[in-house]
Amino acid sequence: MKLEELKAKARLGGLLPGQIVTVVATEWHGANAVTLTYRDNDGEVSERVLYRDNESLLHQLQKQGRPFDADPQEFRLAAEAQRIMLAGINDPMLAVATSDVQPLPHQIRAVYGELLPRTPLRFLLADDPGAGKTIMAGLYIKELLLRDDVRSCMIVAPGGLVEQWQDELRFKFGLEFEILGAGPAIIVPGTSVFESKPLLIARMDQLARNEELQAQLEDVEFDLVVVDEAHRMSAHWFGGELKLSRRFELGQAP
């Protein structure tokens, strides 16, 4: 930056370490020296004599700030991502508006009137068969994901229902949940299958009977766990004694 470019009200960098100063006035001494009067970040006014050797240290900040020369499509993408992330602030029922469902009044009341206002708590959703408990769970999961209150979720369901859960969440709510596979291939020494799959659907009996998976469960925390047909985890009286099944012990796990 040339000394001749020093003008009143110009904002300069390089004069003071880590500060931007504002030019107040200049006074020339011949052709190669100028007394610069400036105001620092604390509002104090000081003077300094600058020579031609100092020109390489100075740079002027543009008055209009950063130039608007970025790719407009990338800006629009970033702005849309920010809008979606904050949409829940303005739309308290965002999951309904962004899902392929038409919830009934009792489902709206359950999710938005009872479940969400009390988060985080444990719930037992015990509506009649056919009342749409899967729809309510899907709305609840998606709403918490959109609000960034949930980032990891596991659904525990009977083996015959895991594919149904996956399809319902994908086609009705746009949520991609992965089904926990079977066999020794899912056990990788030194790693946890649950940490690598934040949105997971697991078979109830698979978890209850696999000690290695249970050991991994002890070291991982999900933001939300949904258990379908939780009555299958109940204990039973037999011969006057309470028998704790493996499913029951799974339900007792943190």
We report the CATH number of the domain holding residue 174 as: 3.40.50.10810
Q: Which pLDDT does position 185 carry in this prediction?
A: 45
Do 41 and 103 fall within a single domain? no
Q: Quick check: helix, strand or coil at residue 6? A: coil
Is 244 within a domain? no
Is 249 within a domain? no
Is 13 within a domain? yes
Q: Which pLDDT does position 139 carry in this prediction?
A: 93
Count of domains observed in the chain:
3
Is 216 within a domain? yes
Q: Which pLDDT does position 208 carry in this prediction?
A: 84
**Residue 212: what residue type?**
E
Domain range enclosing 39 = 3-60
Do 158 and 145 fall within a single domain? no
Half-sphere exposure of 190 (CA within 13 A, CB side): 0
Do 168 and 210 fall within a single domain? yes
Contact between residue 158 and residue 228 where contact means Cβ atoms under 8 Å apart = yes
Contact between residue 207 and residue 228 where contact means Cβ atoms under 8 Å apart = no
Do 74 and 141 fall within a single domain? yes
Is 247 within a domain? no
Is 199 within a domain? yes
Is 251 within a domain? no
Sign of CA dihedral 187, 192, 197, 199: positive
**Residue pLDDT tens, the chain, 254 long:** 888 888 888 888 888 888 888 889 888 888 888 898 988 888 888 898 988 888 888 888 765 556 677 889 998 999 888 887 777 667 778 788 888 888 889 989 988 888 888 877 777 877 777 788 889 999 999 999 988 889 999 999 988 899 999 999 999 999 999 998 875 545 556 667 788 888 999 998 888 888 888 888 888 888 999 988 887 777 777 777 777 777 777 777 65
CATH of the domain at 25: 2.30.30
Q: Which pLDDT does position 172 carry in this prediction?
A: 93
Is 46 within a domain? yes
Do 169 and 220 fall within a single domain? yes
Do 161 and 225 fall within a single domain? yes
Q: Which pLDDT does position 167 carry in this prediction?
A: 94
